[in-house]
Amino acid sequence: MSRIGVLALQGAFLEHQVLLERLGAEVVQVRLPAQLDGLDGLIIPGGESTTIGKLAVAYGLLEPLREFGRHKALWGTCAGAIFLAKDIGLDQPILGLMDISIRRNAFGRQVDSFETNLRVDFGGSNGSQAQPFRAVFIRAPLIEAVHGAARPLAQLEDGRIVAAREGRLLATVFHPELTSDDRFHRYFLEMTK
C-alpha cells in the first residue's frame, strides 16, 4: 500500500485525501517536516500559492520539501503547480524544482473558472486515454513552456499546456480532485512506485 502525503497548509487538500483513500492509499496530512518521513509521494493542493508559500516558510518546510522532491514523487495542482515550478516570473516563496515556466491567473477575469475536456495520454494499456478528462480550472495558471526534461502531458485545443511531467514531478493547472474521475490520482500512484 502506498503512503502518500497531502500538504495541508491551505487549500483543497481534503479532496485529494478522499480520492487517494478511495484508491486504497494511506494518506498523511503534512504540516511539519517530520511528517514527510516514510512517504512514497506528496501532493501539493490548489489554493493560494502566496499563502502556501508563506506558511511553508513559517513551518520550516521549504528546504525539507525541496529535498523530498529530489527523490520522491511530487504532484502540484493549480497553486501547487506554481509552488513546484522553477520560473513563475514573480517574487514569492516557491520550491523551484520543476523545469517549467508558469504564469499565475493566466486566464484572466472573464474566464476565472471554466471546465473543458482534455485528451490526456496516461500511458496505460487499458485504453484509459480514450475517454476525455473533464478538467476544472479555477483562477488557473498556465504552463507557458516546458524546459529540459519536462514534457507536456495535456494541452488545450489551441496547444496551451495545462499539465506536464518531469521524471517524478507532475504539474496540473486544473483540479482533478474536484471530479470523480480518478485517472490522474491513479497515474500519480504509479509514479510513486
Assess whether 78 carries a catalytic annotation.
Answer: yes
Sole binder of ligand GLN in the list 32, 57, 60, 105 (CB under 6 A): 105
Query: Considering beta carbons, is residue 42 or 79 the nearer one to ligand GLN?
Result: 79
Q: How far apart are CA 175 and CA 193, in angstroms?
A: 23
Kindly give the residue spans of alpha helices, DSSP state H, lying in 23-145.
Answer: 49-58, 62-71, 79-84
Distances (CA, A) of 46 to 78, 127, 131, 155, 179: 5, 28, 24, 19, 14
Sole binder of ligand GLN in the list 139, 168, 183, 186 (CB under 6 A): 139
Residue 82 touches ligand GLN, criterion: CB under 6 A = yes
- Give the angle 165-49-147 at the CA atoms, nearest 5°: 30
Q: Which stretch binds ligand GLN (CB under 6 A): 15-23, 60-68, 134-142, 150-158?
A: 134-142
Assess whether 177 carries a catalytic annotation.
Answer: yes
The number of beta carbons lying within 10 Å of the beta carbon of residue 173 is: 30
> Nearest approach, Cβ of 82 to ligand GLN (angstroms)?
5
So which residues are the catalytic ones? Answer: 78, 175, 177
Chain contacts with ligand GLN (rule: CB under 6 A): 46-49, 78-79, 82, 104-105, 138-139, 141
